[in-house]
Structure 1
Amino acid sequence: MGTISAAAEAGTSTGAERLLRVLAGHGVHTVFGLPGVHNLAVWEAAREHGPRLVGVRHEQAAVYAADGYARASGRLGVAVVTTGPGAANTLGATGEAMASGSPVLVVATDIPSSLRRPGVYRGVLHETRDQRAMFLPVVKDAWQVPGAADLAGLTDRAARLALAAPRGPVYLGVPTDFLSAEVGTDPLPPVAAAEHDECSDADLDRAVAELSSARRPLVWAGGGALRSGAGAEVAVLAERIGAPVVTTYGGRGLIPVDHPYAVHGPVHLPEVGRLWDEADVVVAVGTDFDGMMTQNWAMPAPQRLVSVNVDRADASKNYRPDVLLAGDARRVLARLVAALPEREIDSDLAERLAALNAEVRKAVLAEEPQAAQLLDVLDAVLPPDAVLVADMCIPGYWLGGFHRVRRPRGFAYPVGWGTLGFSFPAALGAALGGTGRAVSVCGDGGFLFACGELATAAQERLPVTVVLVDDGGYGMLRFDQANAGHPYFGVDLHTPDFVALARAFGVDAAVVDGFGSEFAVRLTEFVAADGPNVLVVRAALTPPPTTSPRWYRRR
């Protein structure tokens, strides 16, 4: 941290300094952003006092990086961008954060308040008619700071809202003149913690009765359970009721992969889908049963449904629960398992699930041997503290469905909104928010969305390994066209020499063919290295059963 400014010694500070101090109070030590004429005061304040401000090459990457940081750490991710087009560039990434429940604060400057004329578009540099309104569909809430004196209070409020369950992004618009204005340094008034409905004892008793009489229960755990930190409680619940545990894309890594009741495959495989069909009671923890997991709700409604969710509407919008336990998943499950009798591990169920998991692995090998190789190498090579970040690409789809994630927050996947180009910039943030190296798995098409961020990775010396699977185009779209009986059109890409491109930025790079022994050797070297690197893999994979053209259930 730098020296305190003369203004601060006099009992005042600039708005930018106050903004960063409030964020520091929320544990923010790293901010991602791109400087512009309207937000340079934030850069100056960060230079003097911190936090670490990581400059990216595109505003969308700033929010993706903040999202990756939030997913890997569980803390608030912050992106600071400039006015108008800079703010607009973040919308795709902000929508992904909203769909995936990531606590991200987007701070965007706006034109000077002295130049704004209400209801009139004047043509000021970077002016929009209503910048805040652009964000409303993709955030929990959005505020435009009305005066310099309000900046600290609204920053605090926005950070609290982003972190409050159910988590999600928040927008804060700040007229640029408020950043350089002198403001007071009085402490913020205390804000009461957000209150959420908690299930009643009567509801808890109803849930206990449902689970005590269940003969074939199933636990379905989602991203809300992971964000709540409820992994241990989910594992104990499964043991108490003798239930397999299926996790959604957002819940990957929630319970240990070696737990006897952990299911290692998605319900998009008929072998796993049978667990849903056979269940007489499903316990849904922190999930909204979205279209991607339910094959657009072609899965039949469960015979009986007990739902644990912090948001009553979210819990009921797709499948109506018979019992709704409202509240934080970790707290509610702690009460629930305390009311259930202890029992020994069911060896018959454990053996059945071990056989099922082996069947899933054999199905992957039969479907796509290269995907099986990729999964095996990642199992063997990834350090325990690594964060794997997948993109919307065929290798990413295989990982989303079948990678055995070994810890909570060890995997990030953009299936919330399905934004192509997420993986690499999100990995930049995950490398700083996690405990170890971030490994980005992306295709050649998605990587080109943000290849300029190689400069960010090199400048900041970030521990990021990019596994770039190059099939010369959009492989999933090729499959879609072939599946429809159409010739390929518009899906083949002219791509650069990716190794030469990475090396031009000063980033180590290599290329291999396929996911065999050479890939394993190179990846082992790269994840053990310092700084960033890129491993290009020339390979073309077929899509997994988790992709919508291959769903086995149809409505």
Structure 2
Amino acid sequence: MSSGAEVVVEALERAGVEVVFGLPGVHNLALWAALRESSIRLVGVRHEQAAAYAADGYARATGQLGVAIVTTGPGAANTLGAVGEAWASRSPILVIATDIPSTLRRSGEYRGILHETDGQAAMFVPVTKSVHLAHAAGDVARATVAALDSADGEPARPVYLEIATDLLTAEAPGLEPLGNDALDVEGRSPGGFWDAVAALNGARRPLIWAGGGARDVGPHVGHLAERLAAPVLTTYGAAGVLPPGHPHLVGLPPHVEAAGRLWDEADVVLAIGSDLDGVQTQNFAQPQPETLIVIGLEEPTNYRADVFVRAHAGTIAPLAASVEQRSGGAPDLAAVRAAACATLDPTALRFLDSLRFALPADANLVVDMCIPGYWCAGFFTPSAPRKLQVPLGWGTLGYAFPAALGTALADTGPTVSISGDGGFLFASGELATMAQEQIPLTAVIVDDGGYGMLRYDQVRAGSETFGVDLHTPDFEALAASFGVWAETVFGLDDDFGEALARHIESGQPSVLVAKTPDPLVPPPNTSPNWYRKR
């Protein structure tokens, strides 16, 4: 028989896991030993939250499972903010945590054992789709396979697996793979399909709203848009589902009034793979469409679906083949884009132009909850889906840099993270991870001397700034102290773009600091500037 740790690692290998992120602790060292003998790359981070963020970044970049391994009690608890972000953004990650030894656990009692928590797994219930426990040797294989099965199924959400630490070194029964009960309706006509066809054929002004669930079926979205002669609005998670310059792509968030009018004027809206959340709809201030068709795996709750098709986004392939071809070609979106650009701050426009100059077509861009990140979320269209990551599920500050570690190791193209000076310090210790693992990532830090978005909120309210202006380190010197190449530029225009291009071209771990002497202006897709109010 194998040890419990060996059973867990074998199950990960069978599931095709190639890299895991984690932090060792006294309770999980047996997993480290088993991973050392496996085909899986183990990346040790400096904080457990970074392990879960990196797993999330890897999952978003690849569409495959991201895995984080942490220790008992505080180690597990440290992941919760990152797991919440993955949950809200529907990322498939698996958190494997240890619990205190099964021989010392007494149900319903707290005994003061190292790292003990009364009900550790309960912390994860609100931010995962399933929780799996192995508190006896016979449970290790079953719980591990069940957790992997759940993580691989739809809808995508985080999964939590907890194993008592003594079971990792004890003998455990081997694997007995479980079946996959994931919903699969592709290749047939699910309920509501022909009602959707009829509604679209009868539409005068159809609109497609593509969410994160549609990001892997971009060609079908484009084909359907062409047949319907419909504009396409994309959520943050669907950025790149249609490439830049596609004639049907609006390329703007609905928070810009010119783009929002397309929603208002549509008589039929087709929402694909989106729950029409508050961040995207200005807290549901977008009006209920005359007819709303929703294709997704879960019944919508935020808007009334006149037609609900419970199906994967791939169902739009037969849908496109079934709707009538319209005349008239692509909608005229030039005036919409011109009106939107007129609302953006010139610094934002120069910054976005610099990014377009510097980033290769296959680059991954991972942004934080900061003003430059909001500019990218709303107004930067990547060349393909899964190339822009935005933490606007839960909205966790400090996401970009640690998540980008995982994104870079997905090996899907060069990776750039964009953080503010405040958000970067949440995980600045991961500079050690980047250096030790030689992760080819360029971490951009836009340094405006504080929490720029919060400063803007205070100034906008007519208040004096308080608690938002920060003492920050010399970021270039900080990076150099870890052995990471760093450079500082001033401003976000040509000098920044040229420097960023050099850093990406180098292919090595690096930090680029962009100092901004003037306060940055948040774009219309940030809540203080939403034009719709409730």
TM-score between the two structures when normalised by the length of structure 2: 0.97
Which shows bigger deviation, 151-160 or 280-289? 151-160
The code of the aligned residue for 1:223 comes to G
1:518, distance to aligned residue in structure 2 (A) = 1.4
Counterpart of 1:335? 318
1:470-509 → structure 2 map (5 Å cutoff)? 470-509=447-486
Equivalent residues of 2:255, 2:282 under 8 A apart = yes
Counterpart of 2:512? 535
1:185-220 CA deviation, whole Å, 9 max, x = no partner? 3x5244133235788566222111111111111000
1:129-528 → structure 2 map (5 Å cutoff)? 129-185=118-174, 187-195=175-183, 203-226=192-215, 229-312=216-299, 315=300, 317-330=301-314, 332-343=315-326, 346-347=329-330, 349=331, 352-364=332-344, 368-528=345-505
1:378, distance to aligned residue in structure 2 (A) = 1.1
SS in 2 for 1:325: strand
1:401-453 CA deviation, whole Å, 9 max, x = no partner? 00111101001000000000000000000001241221000100000000000
Equivalent residues of 2:147, 2:159 under 8 A apart = yes
Give the alignment partner of residue 105 of structure 2, picking from 71, 93, 116.
116
The code of the aligned residue for 2:333 comes to L
Q: Could you tell me how far apart the structure 1 residues matched to 2:471 and 2:395 are?
A: 24
Q: Could you tell me how far apart the structure 1 residues matched to 2:39 and 2:25 are?
A: 18
1:295/1:68 CA distance change after superposition, 3 Å: same
1:70-105 CA deviation, whole Å, 9 max, x = no partner? 000111000000000000000000000000000000
Q: Could you tell me how far apart the structure 2 residues matched to 1:345 and 1:524 are?
A: 41
Q: Could you tell me how far apart the structure 2 residues matched to 1:148 and 1:398 are?
A: 51
SS in 1 for 2:280: helix
1:360/1:189 CA distance change after superposition, 3 Å: same
Equivalent residues of 2:153, 2:180 under 8 A apart = no
Q: Could you tell me how far apart the structure 2 residues matched to 1:205 and 1:323 are?
A: 10
Counterpart of 1:6? none
Q: Could you tell me how far apart the structure 2 residues matched to 1:181 and 1:385 are?
A: 46
SS in 1 for 2:98: strand
The code of the aligned residue for 1:416 comes to G
SS in 1 for 2:279: helix
Q: Could you tell me how far apart the structure 2 residues matched to 1:82 and 1:134 are?
A: 14
Q: Could you tell me how far apart the structure 1 residues matched to 2:172 and 2:258 are?
A: 62
Q: Could you tell me how far apart the structure 2 residues matched to 1:517 and 1:224 are?
A: 36
1:12-31 → structure 2 map (5 Å cutoff)? 12-31=1-20
Which shows bigger deviation, 210-219 or 152-161? 152-161
Q: Could you tell me how far apart the structure 2 residues matched to 1:202 and 1:163 are?
A: 24
Counterpart of 2:40? 51
1:525/1:344 CA distance change after superposition, 3 Å: farther
Equivalent residues of 2:190, 2:309 under 8 A apart = no
Which shows bigger deviation, 517-526 or 153-162? 153-162
Q: Could you tell me how far apart the structure 1 residues matched to 2:32 and 2:327 are?
A: 58
1:211-246 CA deviation, whole Å, 9 max, x = no partner? 1111111000111112xx221111111111111000
Give the alignment partner of residue 42 of structure 1, picking from 31, 34, 44.
31
1:536/1:15 CA distance change after superposition, 3 Å: same
Give the alignment partner of residue 544 of structure 1, picking from 523, 529, 532.
523
Q: Could you tell me how far apart the structure 2 residues matched to 1:345 and 1:104 are?
A: 44
1:506/1:149 CA distance change after superposition, 3 Å: same
1:342-401 CA deviation, whole Å, 9 max, x = no partner? 456615x2xx1133224333432xxx1111111111112111221100000011011100
SS in 2 for 1:337: helix
Q: Could you tell me how far apart the structure 1 residues matched to 2:101 and 2:380 are?
A: 49
Q: Could you tell me how far apart the structure 1 residues matched to 2:20 and 2:193 are?
A: 42
Q: Could you tell me how far apart the structure 1 residues matched to 2:86 and 2:164 are?
A: 24
1:7-29 CA deviation, whole Å, 9 max, x = no partner? xxxxx221111111111111101
**Residues paired across the two proteins, number:** 531
Structure 2: which 5+ runs fail to align?
A: none
Q: Could you tell me how far apart the structure 2 residues matched to 1:257 and 1:159 are?
A: 36
SS in 1 for 2:250: coil
SS in 2 for 1:21: helix
1:530, distance to aligned residue in structure 2 (A) = 2.6
1:469/1:404 CA distance change after superposition, 3 Å: same
1:267, distance to aligned residue in structure 2 (A) = 0.7
SS in 2 for 1:115: coil
Percent sequence identity is: 56
Equivalent residues of 1:464, 1:533 under 8 A apart = yes
1:137-178 CA deviation, whole Å, 9 max, x = no partner? 111011221322321222121122122111010111110011
Q: Could you tell me how far apart the structure 1 residues matched to 2:507 and 2:249 are?
A: 34
SS in 2 for 1:476: helix
TM-score between the two structures when normalised by the length of structure 1: 0.93
The code of the aligned residue for 2:63 comes to G
Q: Could you tell me how far apart the structure 1 residues matched to 2:203 and 2:532 are?
A: 26
Equivalent residues of 1:225, 1:329 under 8 A apart = yes
Equivalent residues of 1:387, 1:434 under 8 A apart = no
The code of the aligned residue for 2:497 comes to A
Equivalent residues of 1:260, 1:354 under 8 A apart = no
The code of the aligned residue for 2:179 comes to V
Counterpart of 1:7? none
The code of the aligned residue for 1:406 comes to S
Equivalent residues of 2:132, 2:144 under 8 A apart = no
1:52-67 → structure 2 map (5 Å cutoff)? 52-67=41-56
Structure 1: which 5+ runs fail to align?
A: 1-11
Q: Could you tell me how far apart the structure 2 residues matched to 1:325 and 1:436 are?
A: 35
The code of the aligned residue for 2:152 comes to L
